[in-house]
Structure 1
Amino acid sequence: MKHLLCVLLCVSFIFPLTALDTQSYSFIDHLLSISQAKAPEIYEDGVIFTFPSTYRRVGIAFAHEGYSRVYWFKKLLKHDDIPPGASKNQSGNDLVGFKDSGILFYVYEYPREVRELQYRLVIDGLWQRDPLNPLYRTDPSTGLAYSVVTLPPPSPIRSTYDAPAGSLRFSFSAAPGERVTVAGSFNNWDPFMYELEEVSPGFYLLTLPLPPGKYQYVFFYRGERVLDPNNPRKVYTRDGRTASEAIVP
């Protein structure tokens, strides 16, 4: 998923953002607000790494993966105010309406079990620590420096883990007498199949038996797609939308 996220964000700067929901747009809007390369930033469930685009190629590799794979940074493209009638040759851009922000970036959705990211950069073919990150250590066995990002503790997922084994329990609070449904990867995102029961005024509940695995889902309330307000875990789906995620052990 973390690889998909990086590709998704890059593509989103080239194609219109109207296909993305509010949460996904919020993440991209934050990314586009970055004005210069800086130390890594934790935002939602990911870490945003940036670097000046004056370098030809920048990659990143992580200690918990044994530095076995390099993830390459992408150019952060922003909207360019091109005068009416100007061509891409006149503006100097390869993409009409976009300009190079001077920033390379990579977004990494860190594993929930990892409490500290240890990483090194590959800058124009040379391995080194991140010069924009003041936090680093030196490996005593090799003498090589690596950069460090301290991660927050994982947030508990409350609304879906009080269910019997082999099931998920979905709860939602709203005005009494409403219709609330849930859709997700377990029913091909059908918004009409599963309706929550109003077990008390304004409190809706549904328990679904499901095999072990990860499931993405959203609620539908008054025609709107709504993330689970009691579940801080959010992921990006294949179509670029944001969904809540829960696990059946």
Structure 2
Amino acid sequence: MKTIIKYIIILLIAFATWTSFAQNDKGYRFEGNYVVFTFSKYDYEEFTKDNSDDYVKFEDLNIDNVVVAGEFNNWSKYDWKMKKVNDNTYELRKHINDFRDEFTWEFKFIVNNEYWAEPSELDPNIKLSNIKRSNLNVYNLKMDTNTAEPSTNGNVSFRLRGYDHAQKVIVAGSFNRWNEHDLRMYKIENGWELKLDIKPGEYEYKFIVDGNWIVDPSNPSKVLNEFGHYNSLINVGKYVTFLLKGYNDANRVILAGSFNDWNEHDIKMEKADNNYWKLRLPLPAGKHYYKFIIDGNWILDPDNPIKEYDGKGNINSVFMVK
């Protein structure tokens, strides 16, 4: 009896976990600096024709294309066309820089540029809308995605040299949705500074000096923005630890991987007291491939079961930074 009860509990937990995961993926999700809109035709039972409240049943509609339409693109039926992932699913990735000024937007999916997918009241992130689609449900995109917080022990220090006579200096970027007031810098000797805790990832930013936006003059990395000007670019890493057990007689152990272009001399590991070779270093978010080089011999990480072929006949260990 105890075994049966335990089995039932496990099934209930698994079902609850699966249900939560499935719900969280309906409509949209966040992946780093991107909003990923996701449409699965099995999430909808009915559609309404444009400019009408007449319902069309799911089984009566053949899907040729899907578009994301909402307040962020003036409810266009054509602009934000989604990519077909498989026969049932469509996706569209948009950088958070594409969303300005507001923190919430209404949106829906439109099929064949004519039929609006009607989300169920049981779906997450939905609301009743009176904009464009009166008295029908819409998804509510909430951009509460600040990934930066001021901290004296922050992992990123922003510094701006000079500007001694400035009254106020702000750092703003994709990590705080370009808020012009939120992250005020402190005056230091010969400049300004602010330390932030920022999640791993790639971000664009600028300084605002008494209302004037400027790129970081000490950072050569920059990208062109949608206004024809440049934003400074920073890739924030997360500190991770690589461990290799044993090999006490080795003279030198090197860590080489995709993060340092497989350099055979660059990253030397240190021998620890507890029968390990150890190294701690920052890596940006994403998938990283690596191997250990022990006195010139390349090996996979024996304690990491995750490995992949590189398409060139080699197998590498894989480390994911989230």
TM over 0.5: no
Structure index of larger Rg:
2
Greater strand proportion: 2
For this structure pair, what is the TM-score category when the shorter chain's length is used for normalisation?
0.3 to 0.5
Normalised by the size of structure 2, how large is the TM-score? 0.26
Which structure has more RCO (C-alpha within 8 Å, separation ≥ 6)? 1
Normalised by the size of structure 1, how large is the TM-score? 0.33
